[in-house]
């Protein structure tokens, strides 16, 4: 029997990460999914998909937790690594009004920690694999129309760190993607967001599968359109 490609999805307890897990399971991937604390929604997917879905624990803001996961997965090869975890705080505030800790928390979880995770897991991702992180349309400096100032800045920082990571590895043949999924109804996106999880995440996964194995770095939306940085 042909070996299934493996994906590690980081931050899969709920929202977009959970929906990514379901889609990749449906499409025949071996899915390793991380949570910080037990998730009844992920438990339900484990019942549905059996041994095709493996649960792991990781807090991306905690380096020891990430290194412990790396050790537990020693010897495995990942065809795709997808860092989904992210937070949004003080979304209606600016630098003049927000608690500084909220900005620091977002820079840590949304920018620094995904890239640290990617560097720690770099040698586990197949040479023709894919390394992706969930960014946002709001992370585009060129496309900026204001709003969610501090969160947007953390996603712009993630994009920059991914550019630096790619620039430092000119011969690397893996696809590197920072993904803008659209404004989606989740705990973070809120009920007033433009799109549902069901109508967006299958398109995100179509795009990921299409780019899998194509070398180079892209800031890309769910329709496979490149976005301005």
Ligand X SMILES: NC(=O)c1ccc[n+]([C@@H]2O[C@H](COP(=O)([O-])OP(=O)(O)OC[C@H]3O[C@@H](n4cnc5c(N)ncnc54)[C@H](OP(=O)(O)O)[C@@H]3O)[C@@H](O)[C@H]2O)c1
Binding positions for ligand X, rule: CB under 6 A: 11, 13-17, 36-37, 59-61, 84-87, 109, 134, 136, 181, 183-184, 186-189, 193
Q: From the CB of residue 2, how many other CB atoms can be counted at a distance below 10 Å?
A: 5
CB of 17 to ligand X, least distance (A): 5
CB of 32 to ligand X, least distance (A): 14
Name which of 145 and 170 has its Cβ closer to ligand X. 145
CB of 128 to ligand X, least distance (A): 26
Name which of 50 and 192 has its Cβ closer to ligand X. 192
Residue labelled with tokens 């807090």? 59
Cα gap 111→157, rounded to integer Å: 6
Name which of 87 and 98 has its Cβ closer to ligand X. 87
CB of 26 to ligand X, least distance (A): 18
Point out which residues pair with 30 in neighbouring strands.
6
Eight-state DSSP code of residue 126: E
Name which of 125 and 179 has its Cβ closer to ligand X. 179
Torsion sign over Cα 104, 108, 112, 116: positive
**How do the residues of the chain divide into helix, strand and coil, expressed in percent and rounded to 5?**
40, 20, 35
């Amino acid at each position: 029997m042909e070996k299934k490609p493996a994906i590690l999805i980081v931050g899969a307890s709920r929202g977009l990460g959970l929906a990514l897990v379901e889609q990749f399971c449906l499409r025949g991937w071996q899915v390793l999914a991380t949570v910080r604390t037990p998730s009844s929604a992920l438990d339900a997917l484990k019942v549905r998909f059996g041994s095709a879905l493996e649960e792991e624990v990781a807090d991306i803001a905690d380096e020891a937790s990430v290194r412990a996961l790396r050790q537990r997965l020693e010897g495995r090869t990942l065809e795709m690594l997808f860092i989904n975890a992210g937070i949004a705080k003080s979304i209606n505030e600016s630098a003049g009004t927000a608690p500084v800790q909220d900005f620091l928390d977002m820079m840590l979880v949304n920018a620094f920690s995904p890239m640290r995770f990617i560097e720690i897991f770099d040698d586990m991702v197949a040479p023709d694999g894919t390394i992706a992180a969930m960014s946002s349309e709001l992370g585009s400096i060129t496309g900026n129309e204001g709003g969610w100032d501090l969160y947007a800045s953390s996603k712009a920082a993630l994009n920059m760190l991914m550019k630096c990571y790619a620039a430092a590895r000119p011969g690397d043949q893996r696809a590197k993607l920072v993904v803008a999924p659209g404004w989606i109804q989740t705990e973070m996106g809120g009920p007033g967001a433009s799109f549902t999880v069901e109508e967006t995440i299958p398109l995100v996964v179509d795009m990921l599968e299409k780019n899998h194995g194509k070398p180079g770095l892209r800031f890309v939306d769910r329709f496979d359109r490149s976005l301005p940085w």
